[in-house]
Chains A and B, each alone.
Chain A
Amino acid sequence: DIQMTQSPSSLSASVGDRVTITCRASQSISNFVHWYQQKPGKAPKLLIYAASSLQSGVPSRFSGSGSGTDFTLTISSLQPEDFASYYCQQSYSTPRTFGQGTKVEIK
């Protein structure tokens, strides 16, 4: 199985801050990485697919980068509605695997 190591597991930030979350794969997976946002009691929502493509309807303050083993999700200016948990996921091979998640909290 491909392991997805996500960091940090949690962070505190203020509205307007730039936030970066990283995900490292245990082997090269090209660009088959996707990022999801999950709010309490809700299903995950796709933000970024194929490492850097913005899903339709997602604000442009969200961006993704990386290829191979190292990937990054960036929120350029944190908004109140962005306080949530974020997960990376690989679709390079089965079983699909997720990072352990990053909880973004209000400072």
Chain B
Amino acid sequence: QVQLQESGPGLVKPSETLSLTCTVSGGSISGYYWSWIRQPAGKGLEWIGRIYTSGSTNYNPSLKSRLTMSVDTSKNQFSLKLSSVTAADTAVYYCARAGTVTRELDHWGQGTLVTVSS
């Protein structure tokens, strides 16, 4: 069974860069789109962006200027970098896999809380 696990610092200072990695186990990372989604406390889900195993990306326009995603197929990992963070970027960050036909998010990581604070 495919499993995803987010990792990275839980506390980031304002104006710095938030960096997270998602490690995929139980299956290959190749041939799928991999997404990042976030959820501020008590609020709804926001799609951040996705990356294909070729390295092709699609970003949410609301975050695009601050966002970089990358993939390392040799390590079965993909990563997120969000620069110039503010308190508004405080959220639980999830990584997820998209299905191959209708692109539903069929496997999710457990999520990791990132707090932006000095």
- State whether these chains interact: yes
B50, A91: Cβ atoms under 8 Å? no
- B117 contacts the other chain (Cβ, under 8 Å)? no
Contacts A43-B111, A95-B60 given; does A49 touch B47 at CB 8 Å: no
Once bound together, how far apart are the Cα atoms of A11 and B44, in whole Å? 16
Find residues 81-97 in chain A having any chain B CB closer than 8 Å to their own CB. Answer: 87, 89, 91, 94-97
Which residues of B, 66-107, contact A by the 8 Å Cβ criterion?
94, 98-99, 101-106
Most-contacted residue by chain A among B60, B61, B104, B106 (CB, 10 A): B104
Which residues in B have their C-beta under 8 angstroms from that of A49? 99, 102, 104, 106
Using CB atoms, name the residue of chain B closest to A98.
B45
B105 touches A46 (CB 8 A): yes
B35 located at the interface, meaning its Cβ lies under 8 Å from any Cβ of chain A in the complex: yes
- Cβ of B65 within 8 Å of any chain A Cβ, yes or no, is no
Interface size class of A (residues with CB under 8 A): 20 to 34
Contact residues of A: prevailing secondary structure: loop
Instruction: Give bound CA distance, A63 to B9, whole Å.
Output: 39
- Given A43-B110, A46-B104, A46-B106, verify A91-B98 contact (CB < 8 Å): yes
Give the interface segment out of A13-21, A30-38, A72-80: A30-38
Closest to A36 in B: B105
Interface residues of A (CB under 8 A from B): 1, 31-32, 34, 36, 42-46, 49-50, 55, 87, 89, 91, 94-101
The 12 listed contacts between A and B (C-beta, < 8 Å) are A42-B110, A43-B108, A44-B45, A44-B108, A49-B99, A50-B101, A50-B104, A55-B106, A95-B60, A95-B61, A96-B35, A96-B50
Which residues of B approach A to under 8 Å, CB–CB?
A: 35, 44-47, 49-50, 58-62, 94, 98-99, 101-106, 108-111
A-B pairs, top 10 by smallest CB distance, nearest first, are A49-B104, A91-B103, A96-B47, A43-B108, A34-B104, A94-B58, A50-B102, A95-B60, A98-B45, A101-B44
